[in-house]
Amino acid sequence: MTPKEVIEFAKKNGAKAMDIRFMDFPGIWQHFTVPMSELDESSFEDGYGFDGSSIRGWQPIDASDMLVIPDPGTAAMDPFYKEPTLVLIGNIADPITRAPYTRDPRNIAKKAENYLKTTGIGDTAFIGPEAEFFIFDDVRYDSQKNVSFYEVDSVEGTWNTAREESPNLGYKPRLKEGYFPVPPTDKFQDLRTEMLLTLQQIGIDVECQHHEVATAGQAEIDMRFKPLLQMGDQLVWFKYILKNVAYRHGHTVTFMPKPIFGDNGSGMHTHISIWKENQPLFAGDKYAGVSQDALYAIGGILKHCRALCAFTNPTTNSYKRLVPGFEAPVNLAYSSRNRSASIRIPMYSSSPKAKRIEFRTPDPSCNGYIAFSAILMAVLDGIQNKMDPGDPLDKNIYDLPPEELAEIPSAPGSLEESLTALKEDHEFLLKGDVFTKDVIETWVSYKTKNEVNPVKLRPHPHEFFLYYDI
């Protein structure tokens, strides 16, 4: 839409206010609301001022003034607000120079798309994330000097088979048996369909929804692949809509990768392909029907995976899911069909347009704009430097003898390890000024100070179980 068309769209939908939204550095949507009288065509150039020092990972107090400039191409009506409200996603700019802000995640995604075009390799990177999540009925947690605990609950939780529910009607998925039972075992069919329809209501194409493997309401809703920046926008809408649909029905959604011990965690398998002039570049006559460039792209992801994890698996909880020896994509290998490899080449269709690579390590706690951009930069580095991914691994990694498994490199075992890898391996991210040294350094510093160290310094509740009587 043009600015004029946005204003006409708002009038047509009876908008009484405009909500402008942007992503903070770690990956949470922020917003403020203005009356429609404060939006005109000049607003799409002038922008709106706000305090950048109050946004996580952004400006110091002595340089706090920032601008957010609405992007007219992102206009949509909010599905939840009581009063009709237009939503616009904004780009962050310096109020003096008007230059795009380097720590704005959306700006990183825009630069990644632009860099792809300058390489001559392709003109569009398509991204298709499969974000898993949990639907809980109750969540409580606390972390103080003298107490630390969490508790989640779900009517579907296999631990509730003996709970007094007046009456307890059973049908609760056992551990690792949540894929795909029909109701009444699946208690959230209607809720997920409402999520699906709400996503469609604002223009997001959805392929399917279903229950996932874990007990206690694990689910997945798949969006149809889109260009990188557009998918970054859609992923924040996706999280927002799923949380709010659940909330208005008395449930809560979390994209935390590992909220339940002993059952599957939530991943975000991410499909990527590159196209040029409407032609797919990853289809060919090599292994599993892919092109040589696709194999080089795989080589790039495998080479840089440990550094990528700092963005694609950016929480300490991410590494409760990525544990060697369990059914998690920690082994840096590739295969067709084989879900025990970190990179899979899906074989559902023989169409060249369907050829893509699936990076299975990421999880949905990530900031999509930054994670997708980092994956693309690794793919391009692999193609540019003709990185050989080695031989595919077409057998169950978890059945390999220890001596053979030891030869397969692994993803990092902790957020701290991934941040160390990022410090040592980030030159590929700096190409085209997509990421800057300031972004890398700020990311490492923020994550270390606010997440790694606070978790490292606190006693874990299970340590009392193990050691209190020592």
Q: Which residue matches tokens 């990694």? A: 397
**Which residue in 244, 240, 196 sits closest to 219, CA to CA?**
196
Burial of 11 per CB tally in 10 Å (0-12, 13-18, 19+): exposed
Give the total residue count for the chain.
470
| pLDDT tens per residue across span 36-57 | 999 999 999 999 999 999 999 9
Strand (E) or helix (H) holding 463: helix 461-467
For residue 8, indicate whether it is catalytic: no
* Four-residue CA torsion sign, 360, 365, 366, 372: positive
For residue 212, indicate whether it is catalytic: yes
Burial of 147 per CB tally in 10 Å (0-12, 13-18, 19+): exposed
- Does the structure show a pLDDT above 80 at 388? yes
For residue 360, indicate whether it is catalytic: yes
Helices (H) and strands (E) in the chain, counts: 14, 18
- Does the structure show a pLDDT above 90 at 63? no
* Residue 398 per-residue DSSP state: G
| pLDDT mean over 439-454 | 97
**Which residue in 271, 266, 269, 320 sits closest to 133, CA to CA?**
266
For residue 130, indicate whether it is catalytic: yes
**What is the per-residue DSSP string for 402-454?**
HHHHTTS-B--SSHHHHHHHHHHS-HHHHGGGSS-HHHHHHHHHHHIIIIIHH
Tokens matching residue 34: 């203005």
For residue 132, indicate whether it is catalytic: yes
HSE-up of 313 (CA within 13 Å, CB side)?
A: 37
Q: Of residues 251, 344, 360, 426, which has the active-site annotation? A: 360
| pLDDT mean over 147-165 | 97
Distance CA 425, CA 303 (A): 10
Q: Which of 25-29, 58-62, 77-81, 182-186 is the least confident region?
A: 58-62
Burial of 178 per CB tally in 10 Å (0-12, 13-18, 19+): buried
Average pLDDT value for the chain? 95
Distance CA 462, CA 451 (A): 19
Distance CA 431, CA 435 (A): 8
Position 30 scores a pLDDT of: 97
CB 386 within 8 A of CB 328: no
Tokens matching residue 461: 């509740």
Report the interhelical angle of 105-119 vs 228-248 (nearest 10°): 150
Q: Of residues 137, 186, 358, 416, which has the active-site annotation? A: 358
Position 211 scores a pLDDT of: 97
- Does the structure show a pLDDT above 80 at 340? no
289: left (phi over 0), alpha (psi -120 to 50) or beta: left
| pLDDT tens per residue across span 225-240 | 999 999 999 999 999 9
Q: Which of 304-308, 361-365, 379-383, 389-393 is the least confident region?
A: 389-393
Alpha helices by DSSP H, 38-188: 43-46, 105-119
Q: Of residues 21, 106, 211, 269, which has the active-site annotation? A: 269
Distance CA 172, CA 216 (A): 8
Position 338 scores a pLDDT of: 67
Position 404 scores a pLDDT of: 81
* Residue 374 per-residue DSSP state: H
**What is the per-residue DSSP string for 313-349?**
S-STTHHHH--TTSSSS-B--EEES-TTSSEEE--S-
Q: Of residues 212, 222, 263, 381, which has the active-site annotation? A: 212
Tokens matching residue 247: 């909330």
Percentage of residues in the chain having pLDDT higher than 90: 89
Position 238 scores a pLDDT of: 98
How far, in Å, are 258, 306, 331 from residue 325 at the CA level?
16, 18, 9
Tokens matching residue 124: 């569009």
| pLDDT mean over 431-452 | 97
For residue 165, indicate whether it is catalytic: no
| pLDDT mean over 62-75 | 94
How far, in Å, are 115, 293, 296, 298 from residue 382 at the CA level?
15, 8, 5, 7
- Does the structure show a pLDDT above 70 at 462? yes
Distance CA 370, CA 443 (A): 11
Position 401 scores a pLDDT of: 81
Q: Of residues 78, 130, 363, 451, which has the active-site annotation? A: 130
For residue 269, indicate whether it is catalytic: yes
Other C-beta atoms lying within 10 Å of the C-beta of residue 467 = 9
Report the interhelical angle of 292-312 vs 437-447 (nearest 10°): 50
Highest mean pLDDT, choosing among 87-91, 287-291, 330-334: 87-91
CB 310 within 8 A of CB 255: no
Cis geometry, peptide bond prior to residue 167 (ω within 30 degrees of 0)? yes
Q: Of residues 45, 46, 51, 433, which has the active-site annotation? A: 51
Radius of gyration of the chain (CA): 23
User: In this structure, are strands 138-143 and 48-51 parallel, antiparallel, or unpaired?
Assistant: unpaired
Q: Of residues 132, 194, 263, 416, which has the active-site annotation? A: 132
At 336, the pLDDT band (50, 70, 90 cuts) reads confident
At 324, the pLDDT band (50, 70, 90 cuts) reads confident
Q: Of residues 339, 404, 433, 458, which has the active-site annotation? A: 339
At 402, the pLDDT band (50, 70, 90 cuts) reads confident
Other C-beta atoms lying within 10 Å of the C-beta of residue 65 = 13
